[in-house]
Amino acid sequence: MAEPAKAIHATLIHSLSPTHLEILPNALLTISSSGTILSLQPNVPLSDVPNILAQQNIQHIPLAGLSHGQFLIPGFIDTHNHAPQWMQRGLGQGMHILDWLDGITFPNEAKFADPAHAETVYEKLVRGMLRQGVTTASYYGSLHGEATRVLASTCLRAGQRALIGKCNMDRNSPSFYCEASAEESVAATRECIRHIKSIDPAGDCIRPVLTPRFAISCTGELLKSLGDMAREDDSLAIQTHFNEAAQEINATLSLFPDFSNEADLYSSFGLLTRRSILAHCTIMTEYEVQKLRELGCGIAHCPTANMTVGGGFMAAPVKEFLRRGMSVGLGTDSGGGYSSSMVNAMRHALVTSYARDALYPNSKKAGEALSLEEVFYMATRGGAKVVGFEERVGRFGVGLEFDALVVDLRDERGGVNVPLDGGDAPERMLEKFVMTGDDRNIARVYVKGRVVHGEE
Ligand code: XAN
């Protein structure tokens, strides 16, 4: 059923660029019944709102005003998330990547052979992610076609935007969790893509993404077939893990001895394009940074997993990626990342960048530490660009779609303590939210103008 059109009067905070945070106090937003932003006027006194709406001939739409202690931000974009790992979050901290995959992850993901298990877990996952303000996610599924189709249908039903990828993996995992051949993996992938395109033909909410888990899990034949598919259909995004950890890089290069680095390897199969989403990029040579920049690849920075499970146990050179104008978003990488909260991911991006700055004090003129503006950008607008939704979401603007979070820092929500004596300016409220907030402070979540979590 179509939503009624609505208007909201609130303080808006969004990113115009990695360094430019825009704060619009007392803004009046009007949103069409199909979720598109019709108008955006800053500095509108509340008393003027009825007249302005009357002039626009939309005086009858419900007005959800936000009071002091609340503000509106764009929905979060999680650029890297493993859907079947929802139930294993928190396990295996400190393990190296290949040991963690064998010991914890593959046995867990194998359970998704049962579509009923997928139904149960994916319902919890999608509700849980929406509750945490993730309005768009780029999901890796398990290797199972049917479970991945369940994930797609669940996102569409709940109203979460998502890229959905059936994991491709035809070698180097236990026989109970390995595809029989490249051919079988490709056939199941094609079937998933067909399903996703049939239930959301315009890709408004869900879109398919090619998902070779990483080169260790895929034969050259499989990587080649997926590269061919990407070339044939330029609507397809591609996601994989890239230069995650020393253990992983060494294993990859010994499986592909013709290559001396992962950038050349993946690009030789046609898997590095402007539609690629490369998770981690933790250990990077100058040659590879330059190559990814030239190819226009997106980077999913996963600060939590990078420091806790497998990810090289070091902070990625994110400041350098941003300095070079590369496209960077944030990923929770849950369940390698123990938390599926993007607030936590922003916080960890800051903290790990401070550590990197201290470790490499003379590495770059401008230093390695990220700013609040930069991590907020990566969690919203930067992420939207990485996952290919930047024409629709990631910030507020006329013609864009209304994916937004009502952040509520008032005492009664618990969590962040903001004095209500008028002491906190909006930028300070944002800083407190990023550094100390959690899902208790996300009061309402909109996707395409529709409330998908919280009360209207
Ligand atoms: N490499 C990986 N890294 C990670 O963090 N999670 C995974 O599931 C995975 N698979 C390959």
CATH code assigned at 445: 2.30.40.10
| pLDDT at residue number 381 | 98
**Claim to verify: residue 11 and residue 117 sit in the same structural domain:** no
Tell the residue nearest (CA) to atom 1 of ligand 1.
241
Q: Among 367, 387, 407, which residue terminates a domain?
A: 387
Q: Among 387, 419, 438, which residue terminates a domain?
A: 387
Cα 116 from Cα 402, distance rounded (Å):
33
Coil, strand or helix: which one is 328?
Answer: strand
**Contact by Cβ (8 Å): 140, 169:** no
| pLDDT at residue number 311 | 61
Could you tell me if the CB of 310 is within 6 A of ligand 1?
yes
| pLDDT at residue number 456 | 78
How far is the centre of ligand 1, averaged over its atoms, from the C-alpha of 218 (Å)? Answer: 13
| pLDDT at residue number 404 | 98
**Claim to verify: residue 419 and residue 289 sit in the same structural domain:** no
Tell the residue nearest (CA) to atom 10 of ligand 1.
213
**Claim to verify: residue 171 and residue 204 sit in the same structural domain:** yes
Instruction: Kindly list the distances between the CA atom of residue 209 and the CA atoms of 135, 204, 236, 248, 250, in Å, as whole numbers in the listed order.
Output: 17, 14, 6, 23, 27
How far is the centre of ligand 1, averaged over its atoms, from the C-alpha of 365 (Å)? Answer: 33
Interface confidence (ipTM) of the complex:
0.98
**Claim to verify: residue 65 and residue 82 sit in the same structural domain:** no
The range of the structural domain enclosing residue 244 comes to: 76-387
**Claim to verify: residue 253 and residue 374 sit in the same structural domain:** yes
**Claim to verify: residue 372 and residue 420 sit in the same structural domain:** no
How far is the centre of ligand 1, averaged over its atoms, from the C-alpha of 305 (Å)? Answer: 9
**Claim to verify: residue 114 and residue 220 sit in the same structural domain:** yes
**Claim to verify: residue 206 and residue 296 sit in the same structural domain:** yes
**Claim to verify: residue 200 and residue 277 sit in the same structural domain:** yes
CATH code assigned at 182: 3.20.20.140
**Claim to verify: residue 382 and residue 400 sit in the same structural domain:** no
Tell the residue nearest (CA) to atom 2 of ligand 1.
241
Q: Among 335, 353, 387, which residue terminates a domain?
A: 387
How far is the centre of ligand 1, averaged over its atoms, from the C-alpha of 242 (Å)? Answer: 10
**Claim to verify: residue 345 and residue 432 sit in the same structural domain:** no
Domain count, the chain: 2
Question: Consecutive sets of 10 residues in the chain, 456 residues long: mean pLDDT of each?
Answer: 83 97 96 95 94 84 85 98 97 93 97 98 98 98 98 98 98 98 98 98 98 98 98 97 95 98 98 98 97 98 91 85 97 95 98 90 75 98 98 98 95 73 78 93 96 91
**Claim to verify: residue 55 and residue 180 sit in the same structural domain:** no
Q: How is the chain split among helix, strand and coil, in percent rounded to 5?
A: 40, 20, 35
